[in-house]
Structure 1
Amino acid sequence: GDRARLLCVGANGQPRPAERPPASSRPNRRIVPTHRTSHRKSYDYASPFPLVGRNQHQLQRPPLAAGPAGTRAGMANASSISRSLRRSLAPDALHRLLLQRSRAFVTAECHRPVVLHKRGPDILHDPWFNRGTAFSMTERDRLGLRGLLPPSVVSSQQQIDRFMGDLKRLEQNARDGPSDTYQLAKWRILNRLHDRNETMYYKVLIDNIEEYAPIVYTPTVGAVCQNYSGLFRRPRGMYFSAEDRGEMMSMVYNWPADQVDMIVVTDGSRILGLGDLGVQGIGIAIGKLDLYVAAAGINPQRVLPVMIDVGTNNEKLLKDPLYLGLQEHRLEGEEYVEIIDEFMEAVFSRWPNVIVQFEDFQSKWAFRLLQRYRKTYRMFNDDVQVTSLTYA
């Protein structure tokens, strides 16, 4: 065919390239390398017309005038071809043909590599390059994204399915009118503002704390955590998982802030009174820190919500294809403790003066971890110590 080198056998029995036909018999067509890369040299004709047959003598298209694409001669030739096409093809056929060839040229151009000078959060905030949870683990390591996204790697189609499911639920809720729809709608509006303009977000929250505290925290945050995988649009905070063992010491440097004063961390095992919500419990840490900023005046650039994902025992989440966390049962015993140990060592190695608040851990782990760390690190457990102080 026209894409292969023809070989013939010489007098010595060795293959040699076939002789080319004389110039007078060859079509007047310029040949350029295609965009495809292979161990063989592959060539295609620089023409906007599709191949009709494999043999170059079967190509039913007018010859191209000499001159590289983009030059005056090449542009004049393309213009004459375009005029002849308009005369010979119906409008619909012409449109389809030009669209087909333009796609081919654009595809060839897009195969050129792009040098990316951004890393970490800058990529996640750039709509041109951000792929969200579709980044593979290799890409996350290479681009400084490990820990900045939920641990689950989902496909682009799953992201679309999540968005469409969210849209359909909104339509259904508008018809049926459940009691929490209005509160969730308020939360979404506030969350979008948080993504766009953090200064304005906290100004609105401070000036209207009585009205919006129940939206950013209890009771609305419970519904947010239950539906977090469907509501997820942009990552906030950091995620450490069982798959990050041995990597946490380097992962903490993916967070852009050099100073962090307050961390709220949860493992999602006992979110409010809703039970095990897995990685979706990150919503409780985000909401708690929003209250600390708005009501206590903590610098919003120095707070960090954290999720430690060690799996979930929630069977519904284990079967949900859109779930953002590890779809495996929770770690227990010494394996669990080793992960928390590594996390505490990592965050205090980078931010020695940070305060870590443990939030919504199962009771058996809440008491054990409090006794394990209270004399070594600046930490406290909200459910054990603060609740007791409130009642006292």
Structure 2
Amino acid sequence: MRRVVRSVAANHRHTRWFSTAAIPGPCIVQKRGADILHDPWFNKDTGFPLTERDRLGLRGLLPPRIVSFEQQYARFMESYRSLEKNTEGQPDHAVALAKWRILNRLHDRNETLYYRVLIDNIEDFAPIIYTPTVGLVCQNYSGLFRRPRGMYFSAKDKGEMMSMIYNWPAQSVDMIVITDGSRILGLGDLGVQGIGIPIGKLDVYVAAAGMNPQRVLPVMLDVGTSNQELLKNPLYLGLRQPRLEGEEYLAIVDEFMEAVRTRWPKAIVQFEDFQMKWAFETLERYRKKFCMFNDDIQGTAGVALAGILGALRAQGRPMTDLMRQKVVVVGAGSAGLGVLNMAVQAISRMAGANGVCPKHQFYLIDKDGLITKERKNLDPSAAPFARHPEETDGLKEGANIVEVVRKLKPDVLLGLSGRGGIFNEEVLKAMGESDSPRPAIFAMSNPTLNAECTPAEAFKYAGENIVFASGSPFQNVDLGNGKVGHVNQANNMYLFPGIGLGALLSGARLITDDMLQAAAECLASYMTDKEISEGVLYPSIGSIREITAEVGAAVVREAVAGGLAEGHRDVGLKELRCMSKEETVEYVKRSMWFPIYSPLVHSK
């Protein structure tokens, strides 16, 4: 295993986590010759020194010139910039896939160099390995497939998963991201092609949280697909059968979770892009038995809550005023309901501190309009947020977005509908007439085409005084006269790496609502008052490791306070309890893996 080398040095863009003076310890390998060159965990390409070439049987298998890590890095970046230049003017999707391919080829060949490039250029590369390009990759994954990454468990493997889990070569796994491919971003059922999501998420874990890439595992749970186009596609790599449902489906997930617990009892499992009914079902089924969380429900909710709390600060109000915020959520799926549940929990948490009776002014809209108690066949998950007729200011069941916004004049309009352009000119102009001194508009659906509105439309129709956030990356808006309309990316990337890392380093038995609340509140407090006043709710992606360290430390402290921490490796519970806030942050920072070539020694 490559030793972690950690320290902080500034460069011209952001903080880097490495030491130029430290010499990594040796790594013992059982391979020689071409087997080393074909293993991306150990391959250094032309970077092997002569002594290693001799002891590993590499003489003659590589060109004679030895190229330093820094030279390899510069060469790759030159190739990438050349690609950018050569693809100017081509369709956006073609350019995005070309960028993904060049990064993926490096990932397949040399993981150390890949992750160093990723960490140092995370602002440029996050949209390629993660949202929004990952959606395009999933749509085309069967055609893009070249070599396997991660593990695939299918409905045909029932009864075999306990033995299959031992096929994974790593002896230890800290973090697992799993999907069943049933609701990939806003693209729907993509079946086995959804594996691109766990792969991308775990790349973010490595880059943002310093998870060791040799200790992470992307998993696809293939229970079939109901996407007829995929079933007819001759290139499709998954099971050609309709999706399992009911107890048959749950039996497959149960078997996988038990297999994971048997081999890696301390591993954290993140559920990703499950359709709503299974997202909520599996969360409730496993959260009290396993150290797991659902990013679509809880991660999205945390980032949205942090944005709402930031919007409160932008209005010059304390975060405890959350219960007085009028919030309209458009989209009653797992993400929308997750936001509302977490916001209500936050209010209860705040009320517990000051004795105020928790109330809220949250309103939920789905494809059929405003949800009230008069709704027939009301979904049980949405029922807690269905309003009584006397609470809607005269609005009727099924009122559309324009009617709701005009009548209620909300402080926050939050879109998680998956429907592009649903915040049209009428809706945005109505938000411009909000009672709030600084209305907040969150168009959070992914990928880019599914955003409820663009930032340019929001600032044009709702006014220059709004606070705006999107799920996918957009450019800031030039408002003229030297003014800038800041575009905040309400990206789960700000939270899930810290949640996973904090749970790991605390040795938490479970991931609780309080731990998630602590993560969201930490993110909401991260920005300075000056930044908030300018409409900046979230920090730069370039400082993601700093953010993750703070969020991770908040999760560690909450796990300790909640009696759920057991310690991690050589840091016991007693030490965790004695750490100050600053010491906890430092503990998280020094636990982060950083990519650097280690000397390789062959074990006979």
User: Smaller-chain TM-score range?
Assistant: 0.5 to 0.7
Deviations 1:147-203 (Å, cap 9, x if unpaired)?
Answer: xxxxxxxxxxxxxxxxxxxxxxxxxxx8x9422111110100100000100000000
> Which of the residues 198, 208, 215 maps onto 2:121?
208
**2:240 matched residue in structure 1:** 327
Matched, 1:227 2:143: no
Amino acid at match of 2:239: L
Between the aligned partners of 2:92 and 2:295, the Cα distance in structure 1 is: 29
**2:93 matched residue in structure 1:** 180
Deviations 1:222-277 (Å, cap 9, x if unpaired)?
Answer: 10000000000000000000000000000000000010000000000000000000
Alignment of 1:253-268 (within 5 A): 253-268=166-181
> Which of the residues 205, 213, 224 maps onto 1:292?
205
Between the aligned partners of 1:195 and 1:386, the Cα distance in structure 2 is: 29
Between the aligned partners of 1:256 and 1:359, the Cα distance in structure 2 is: 23
**1:370 matched residue in structure 2:** 283
Between the aligned partners of 1:220 and 1:372, the Cα distance in structure 2 is: 32
1:305 counterpart SS class: strand
Amino acid at match of 2:263: R
Matched, 1:390 2:307: no
1:201 counterpart SS class: helix
Deviations 1:71-127 (Å, cap 9, x if unpaired)?
Answer: xxxxxxxxxxxxxxxxxxxxxxxxxxxxxxxxxxxxxxxxxxxxxxx9xxx8xx69x
Between the aligned partners of 1:368 and 1:277, the Cα distance in structure 2 is: 20
**2:164 matched residue in structure 1:** 251
Alignment of 1:94-105 (within 5 A): none
Between the aligned partners of 1:235 and 1:329, the Cα distance in structure 2 is: 24
**2:184 matched residue in structure 1:** 271
Amino acid at match of 1:355: I
With 264-273 and 379-388 compared, the bigger mean Cα shift is at 379-388
> Which of the residues 201, 208, 223 maps onto 1:310?
223
- Offset at 1:349? 0.4
Amino acid at match of 2:166: Y
1:180 counterpart SS class: helix
- Deviant stretches of 4+, over 3 Å: none
1:324 counterpart SS class: coil
1:380 counterpart SS class: strand
Between the aligned partners of 2:246 and 2:208, the Cα distance in structure 1 is: 38
Alignment of 1:3-14 (within 5 A): none
Deviations 1:315-355 (Å, cap 9, x if unpaired)?
Answer: 10000111000011000000000000000000110000000
**2:266 matched residue in structure 1:** 353
Matched, 1:301 2:214: yes
Amino acid at match of 2:229: K
Between the aligned partners of 1:391 and 1:188, the Cα distance in structure 2 is: 32
Amino acid at match of 1:366: A
Alignment of 1:2-41 (within 5 A): none
Q: Note the residue ranges of structure 2 that are not aligned, 5 or more in a row.
A: 1-30, 40-86, 306-604
Between the aligned partners of 1:190 and 1:350, the Cα distance in structure 2 is: 32
Between the aligned partners of 2:92 and 2:303, the Cα distance in structure 1 is: 30
- Offset at 1:384? 0.9
- Offset at 1:385? 1.1
With 365-374 and 177-186 compared, the bigger mean Cα shift is at 177-186
Amino acid at match of 1:315: Q
Root-mean-square deviation (CA, aligned residues, Å) is 1.9
1:357 counterpart SS class: strand
Between the aligned partners of 2:159 and 2:234, the Cα distance in structure 1 is: 28
2:270 counterpart SS class: strand
Between the aligned partners of 1:272 and 1:255, the Cα distance in structure 2 is: 27
Between the aligned partners of 1:387 and 1:184, the Cα distance in structure 2 is: 26
Between the aligned partners of 1:327 and 1:320, the Cα distance in structure 2 is: 10
Amino acid at match of 1:367: F
Amino acid at match of 1:370: L
Between the aligned partners of 1:243 and 1:189, the Cα distance in structure 2 is: 34
> Which of the residues 237, 249, 265 maps onto 2:150?
237
- Offset at 1:390? 1.4
Amino acid at match of 2:147: R
Between the aligned partners of 1:186 and 1:388, the Cα distance in structure 2 is: 30
2:242 counterpart SS class: coil
Amino acid at match of 2:146: R
Alignment of 1:5-154 (within 5 A): none
**1:344 matched residue in structure 2:** 257
Deviations 1:118-149 (Å, cap 9, x if unpaired)?
Answer: 9xxx8xx69xxxxxxxxxxxxxxxxxxxxxxx
Q: What TM-score, normalized by structure 2, do the two folds share?
A: 0.36
**1:31 matched residue in structure 2:** none
**1:129 matched residue in structure 2:** none
2:178 counterpart SS class: strand
Identity of aligned residues (%): 77
- Offset at 1:387? 1.3
Rg (Cα) greater in structure: 1
Between the aligned partners of 1:312 and 1:177, the Cα distance in structure 2 is: 33
Amino acid at match of 1:285: P
1:199 counterpart SS class: helix
Between the aligned partners of 1:190 and 1:388, the Cα distance in structure 2 is: 30
- Offset at 1:218? 0.6
Between the aligned partners of 1:284 and 1:244, the Cα distance in structure 2 is: 22
Q: Note the residue ranges of structure 1 that are not aligned, 5 or more in a row.
A: 1-117, 127-173
**1:43 matched residue in structure 2:** none
Between the aligned partners of 1:281 and 1:382, the Cα distance in structure 2 is: 15
Q: Name the structure, 1 or 2, with higher relative contact order (CA <8 Å, separation 6+).
A: 2
Amino acid at match of 2:114: Y
Amino acid at match of 2:202: L
1:279 counterpart SS class: helix
